Amino acid sequence: MEWSIRLLACLVGILPMGSFVRTKRDTTGNLLNTEVHSAPAQRWSMQVPAEVSAAAGEAAVLPCTFTHPHRHYDGPLTAIWRAGEVYAGPQVFRCAAARGSELCQTALSLHGRFRLLGNPRRNDLSLRVERLALADDGRYFCRVEFAGDVHDRYESRHGVRLRVTAAPRIVSLSVLPGPAHAFRALCTAEGEPPPVLAWSGPALGNRSAAASGPGQGHGHQVTAELPALAHDGRYTCTASNSLGRAEASVYLFRFRGAPGAPALALPLGALGLKALLLLGVLAARAAARRRREHPVAQDTPPWPQAQESNYENLSQMSPRDPAAATCLP
């Protein structure tokens, strides 16, 4: 008993802070063995920035590092990135590393644009996103899973916000019929920051139009309406934000028939007007070619031709002609 007490005292003197000793005794009270257990020096944690910003068309890196309580873990692991919602959002990237391997084999990369930059064996899950689009704007969450002898997993709760910026782009421009044979125009544009829309046209000058609200599914899309097109001509929608501006035009022409008949409007975009003019030029050339290949026949009198006769007009013979032979009695 005295020997066991001395041994435990020596162990306590050399153990680091936070460690503890567990002993086992038999039924007689004799010491069988002693196990030394170190308390975890670290706990689960993940470090990610609050926000990462990049322009559309470029690449962005989402940093993510972690700590875990399992010292020198060398078993199978899986690295996961998901979008939108913690624990439940759709996965955009997933890779797995076998026991003892530092190569994390990619199993999922959405549209082939997501690539792991970090090394999960070194507690780094950083991700690179290629060819950014406005649809990539949102929040992303990193996650690591241990398998084998140790079953444990951890995921960042707040994630990292990816903000994608873009200059304005006109998505659609249209003219629609309204009540009482009137017409209205709709313009939809996207960009980040969300663009401001303005209309210009006949009798409008340059008038700003309030956006009707965010586009479906994304806050970077806005729509503005021009409620009444009172005059024929060109109407232009201009979208602008701090990164640039874009514009598109539509042409409105009314064809009026008999008095009392409703007017027929022909809305044409800039491309549609050019196509109409091109068709007119091609039609004129085709008509000219047909006239050259098939000229119109003219009614002209035929050239006079000498007619043959079996009779000789003796009265028209010249006096100098030799005398005809006669028979005398």
Equal CATH topology for 45-158 and 167-252: yes
Reported as type and span, the H/E element at residue 283 is helix 270-293
Fold of the domain built from segment(s) 45-158: Immunoglobulin-like (2.60.40)
pLDDT of residue 184: 87
Q: What pLDDT does 175 receive?
A: 87
The DSSP secondary-structure symbol of 203 reads T
Would you tell me how many other CB atoms lie within 10 Å of the CB of residue 33? 8
Range list of β-strands (E), 98-217 = 105-109, 114-116, 127-129, 138-146, 152-155, 160-177, 183-192, 196-201, 205-208, 214-215
Quote the pLDDT of residue 151.
Answer: 79
pLDDT of residue 197 exceeding 80, the answer is yes
- 92-143 confidence digits (pLDDT tens): 999 999 999 999 999 999 999 999 999 999 999 999 999 999 999 999 999 9
> Do strands 214-215 and 114-116 pair parallel, antiparallel, or not at all (unpaired)?
unpaired
Listed by start position, the domains of the chain span 45-158, 167-252
Cβ atoms within 10 A of the Cβ of 124, count? 15
Instruction: Provide the 10 A C-beta neighbour count for residue 84.
Output: 13
Q: For 167-252, CATH number?
A: 2.60.40.10
SS3 content of the chain, % helix, strand, coil (to 5): 15, 45, 40
214, 272, 228, 217: which is closest to 248 by C-alpha?
A: 272
| pLDDT tens for each residue of 199-249 | 988 877 555 544 444 444 357 889 999 887 878 888 999 999 999 999 999
Confidence at residue 39, expressed as pLDDT on a 0 to 100 scale: 45
